Amino acid sequence: MLSYRHAFHAGNHADVLKHCIEIALLDYLGQKDTPFWYIDTHAGAGVYALEDAYASKNGEYRTGIGRLWERDDLPAALKRYVEIVRELNPDGKLRYYPGSPYCADRAMPAQGKLRLFELHPSDSRLLQANFEEAGRRAQIRAGDGFEGIKAILPPPPRRGLILIDPPYEDKRDYQHVVVALKEGLKRFATGVYAVWYPLLQRAEAKELPQQLKKLPVDSWLDVTLSVQSPSNDGFGMHGSGMFIVNPPWTLADTLQNTLPWLSAALAQDDGARYTLESRSR
């Protein structure tokens, strides 16, 4: 399906959670003076104009990044994330929002490499344009990231973060995620994998994290953030989650210090909550 455009949702509560965690993971990997790769299976356009027709239609960023923009009491992980958003908005007015590839480009050391996949033809062209100045640091491929990562794992440095975040408009994406992660781990067992998923009332969404927890890995961390109660009619996304395989040992503490504040800041009703679960063998 090629109808999905992330621009409609840029900067919403799910992006806040996803990009805050993504940047924390990249900062951790960047502590070592050895190169690593960032691989994004569904990279989108890279940068989004919040005043254009797509983003302004629903204005989802107003209850996401918009609620953090003027705060001066951000926890450290959120402060770091907002600093990267501010790089796109140097005049202080929130006009542009960075997608996952832009966040990665700004968070990674100079020797890092980006490998970006995007299937939607319009977004793929925009992504290419937004990364014209990146040169050989970033390689962009117009195609299916689920299939594409098979050819590039393991990365030559044997260090990397793989972000898997399909739109899930096609319910087959749920199974594609499980298969991609299983196959990725066979090729690159020591990689850090971050899977974003929506919190919905549909069965596939509820089953996905349970399937991921059954994978034969030594350590994982599962975090969810709900900003409102599920709707009575069962439609709509009330939150999102991130499932991280091989997480840094520091990440659970970082999130424990961040999620209570974030849950309160982004709450849309009294159903707002978060969960944090981990396992290490």
Catalytic residue among 15, 40, 165, 173: 165
Beta bridge partners of 275: 224
Whole-angstrom distance, CA of residue 98 vs CA of residue 16: 11
165 is annotated as an active-site residue: yes
State the amino acid at position 137 in one-letter form: R
Helix (H, G, I), strand (E, B) or coil at 54: helix
- Burial code (b: 16+ CB inside 10 Å, e: under 16) for 141-166 equals bbeebbebbeebbebeeebbbbbbbb
- Please give the span between the terminal C-alpha atoms of the chain, in angstroms, as a whole number: 38
Q: Is 8 exposed, middle or buried (0-12, 13-18, 19+ CB in 10 A)?
A: middle
Q: Two tokens at 202?
A: 């549909």
Burial of 230: CB neighbours in 10 Å, binned 0-12, 13-18, 19+: middle
**44 burial type by CB count under 10 A (0-12 exposed, 13-18 middle, 19+ buried):** buried
114: tokens are: 């980006």
Instruction: Report the relative pairing of strands 47-49 and 37-40 from DSSP bridges.
Output: unpaired
d(CA 177, CA 165) in angstroms, rounded, equals 8
Name the residues annotated as catalytic.
165
